[in-house]
A and B are shown apart, each in its own frame.
Chain A
Amino acid sequence: MADQATPSDSNRPALALHVPEPKYRPGDTADFSHIDIGQPGDQPRPDEGIHPSQMAGLAYGLVRVLGDDNQAHGPWNPRLSPETLRTMLGHMALVRAFDERMFRGQRQGKTSFYMKCTGEEATSIAPAMALASDDMIFPSYRQQGILLVRGYPLIEMINQIYSNKADKLKGRQLPIMYSSREHSFFSISGNLATQCPQAVGWAMASAARGDSRIAASWVGEGSTAEGDFHSACTFAAVYNAPVILNVVNNQWAISSFSGFAGAERTTFAARGLGYGIAALRVDGNDALACYAATEWAANRARGNHGPTLIEYFTYRAEGHSTSDDPSGYRSAQEREEWPLGDPVTRLKKHLIAIGEWDEDRHAAMDLECAERVKTTTKEAEKNGILGHGLHHPFHTMFEDVYEELPWHLEEQADQAIRERIAKFGTERPFG
């Protein structure tokens, strides 16, 4: 209980606590005209070896390449071949189709949980294409696009989502918490921002060994508030680690808008400046800008010029997860009003504008993606869906806690198997 004099007892002014409030709530008309998105091509592209203090403006502006005219503009244009652009569009279309199908699968009771990346596809697919395939990824939970770029089999993703008997993670992880060492893709946690210092540590190890591979982590703007993010920035700066710290600013952390992570005061890219880390703020719905930013940061890291923090300014078009209903806390108009549009549509229009794509081919591609996902889903379902018994053998629950099974887990495994047999007469009642 406060035991100090109340303000009325003194001539000092009364203090006021500020609790951030988003501009629009359900039912409100969303208007984003206050957001300064600049012009495509208006940001300079410095040399990758530049001192961070000499490029501070890039932490506050917005690197944009694709204009309303659907053409690529300015020094950040990565000048990708039409073939590469079509590949990029293909990955984005596939992840969107995948998200749709998996979301529906959760609603049909085939699994417990799913998270879409709708509206944010460019922030993982374009960077993944700009990195080398053996650069190490420390993802957050909305970077499924990276796995598609790296050729991770769709069926393995679905097996994991269903926690079925073919799940490579043995049904131990919440759906979408993938891991693939083979694809240089770190095990996804669920505790936020823990991957940031881990990425820095991996990059430090790579540098200490004289390796040439770099690391990149992804985190949402909301979890930049975690201490881990700041520890990561400190260590990255101190050891000049070859790492890219990506912040996906999709405006919403479940129901908390970016103001609860500090967005009312400054940009997330600007966090880097205080640490002496090169910082870029990028239109996250512009796949070319996302690619160019990563390419710049990767060159910088490979040249031993140190880390880069990239803020992708984007919008979470769907709910946080299948457990979330955004209509309860934000205006339904926001998605349509978002001033930077939709990343898939923008890339598609660019390809059409340069004469390398058309609506018919796009429609055919969408159909093909949907078919591929559908076929693969049916294939995965043969391995089981969550809760229908086709899971890994029971004793696997006790494996991998330690490299070797200690006596106390051995006893507990015996107990679990006894319970199983008492109930079903066999350890594996369904197979």
Chain B
Amino acid sequence: MSDHPANLGENVIADAPERRLNMIEAINEALDIMLARDPDVIIMGEDVGYFGGVFRATAGLQAKHGKTRVFDTPISECGIIGVAVGMGAYGLRPVPEIQFADYIYPGLDQLISEAARLRYRSAGDYIAPMTVRSPFGGGIFGGQTHSQSPEALFTHVAGLKTVIPATPYDAKGLLISAIEDNDPVIFFEPKRIYNGPFTGFYDKPVEPWKKHPDSGVPEGYYKVPLGKARKVREGEALTVLAYGTMVHVAEAVCREKGVDAEILDLRTLVPLDIKAIEASVEKTGRCLIVHEATRTSGFGAELSALVTERCFYHLEAPVERVTGFDTPYPHSLEWAYFPGPVRIGEAIDKLLSE
């Protein structure tokens, strides 16, 4: 659980720091701080330099820190990751951006066979202390090549860590932890909530981050540790395991339905905060897993297996998974694909009826 004051009580807005940032601003600030603190940190990626990135995450950083610290790259994800491995071997701490998670696949061999295994295969001689930032997830009418959630491809790889923030506060603190981490970290940013905590009710306006308690972002350096989940809300009726955008969707559905759910924002998928999950499921006896990614072999399957293996005798009902469908992300039927309030509501009803 985060020690951030916004998580501590009912009067969250009143107690939260005055300073409010959206997720892009929080990420930009984390990068800025790390560039200033550590001369080994460099940022590279497509359009990240002069222009500041297609989502503006690196805006102003090249002007402030110089062209050899923040620069554009050729359109070659294989090259970006490969070069980052070499820079890590030199002693730098690269933070490459992959413009969309959907574009990361040409770099997979460099991530899976190289970065992830370098420490192991060289017995600690060389490490790959890189943080690969990449916007992921849908809900922005991005079609099949700007909407995917490929996190399970990375959680399956020994040697990688996978981190997904759900709030501006966490985005900044987790990104700083990821950059300082000596293992390669995949840092997926839920782009649907860059500007506001989207609740899944796509026909309603999205509240901007500035009105949300978790947009209170202190100035300067702070860390949110990797491997620790955040308790979004306490509850008794069921446990909801979610990350990224789906934290906010699940929270809104539970609020709408008046369900006393305990919601865990996992924040880090590997290493996973298994203790927080066990404690919650043992208390509630019911477990709902929500992710936007396709269902089959998704990370929800791992979560479901872990909960079943470890909390079976506490369960009052079978574990439920709510996920995207096993289709490519469609363009016009985006909201039919998205695991929204109806799908989540139905699963909650089923869980609570047993």
Q: Which residues of A contact B (CB under 8 A)?
A: 136, 138, 168-170, 172-173, 177, 179-181, 186-187, 189, 191, 194, 196-206, 208-209, 215, 227-228, 231-232, 234-235, 238, 400-403, 406-408
Contacts and interface: CB of A to CB of B under 8 A. Distances in A.
Contacts of A228: 78-79, 82, 109-110
B126 A179 contact: yes
A400 B120 contact: yes
Given A136-B90, A235-B76, 13 more contacts: A138-B86, A177-B121, A181-B125, A189-B114, A194-B82, A198-B89, A205-B86, A205-B91, A228-B78, A228-B110, A231-B79, A232-B82, A402-B159
B123 A227 contact: no
The residue in A172, A180, A197, A228 that gathers the most chain B C-beta atoms within 10 A of its C-beta is A197
B85 interface: yes
Contacts of A202: 86-87, 89-90
A136 B124 CA distance: 17
B71 to A, nearest CB: 8
A253 to B, nearest CB: 18
Given A189-B114, A235-B76, A402-B159, A197 B274 contact: no
A172 B120 contact: yes
Sorting the interface of chain B by its residue count into under 10, 10 to 19, 20 to 34 or 35 or more gives 35 or more
Given A138-B86, A208-B42, A402-B183, A231 B118 contact: no
B182 interface: yes
B122 interface: yes
B296 interface: no
A234 B182 contact: no
Q: 5 closest A-B pairs (Cβ-Cβ)?
A: A201-B86, A197-B82, A231-B79, A201-B83, A198-B86
Contacts of B274: 407-408
B140 interface: no
A271 B183 CA distance: 35
Nearest to B116: A401
A203 B91 CA distance: 12
The residue in A187, A199, A206 that gathers the most chain B C-beta atoms within 10 A of its C-beta is A187
B119 interface: yes
A276 B125 CA distance: 34
Contacts of A189: 113-114, 121
Contacts of A199: 86
A186 B109 contact: no
23 contacts: A169-B121, A169-B122, A169-B123, A172-B121, A186-B126, A187-B122, A191-B109, A191-B113, A194-B85, A196-B82, A197-B110, A198-B83, A201-B85, A204-B86, A205-B42, A205-B90, A215-B86, A227-B78, A228-B78, A235-B79, A402-B119, A406-B227, A406-B270
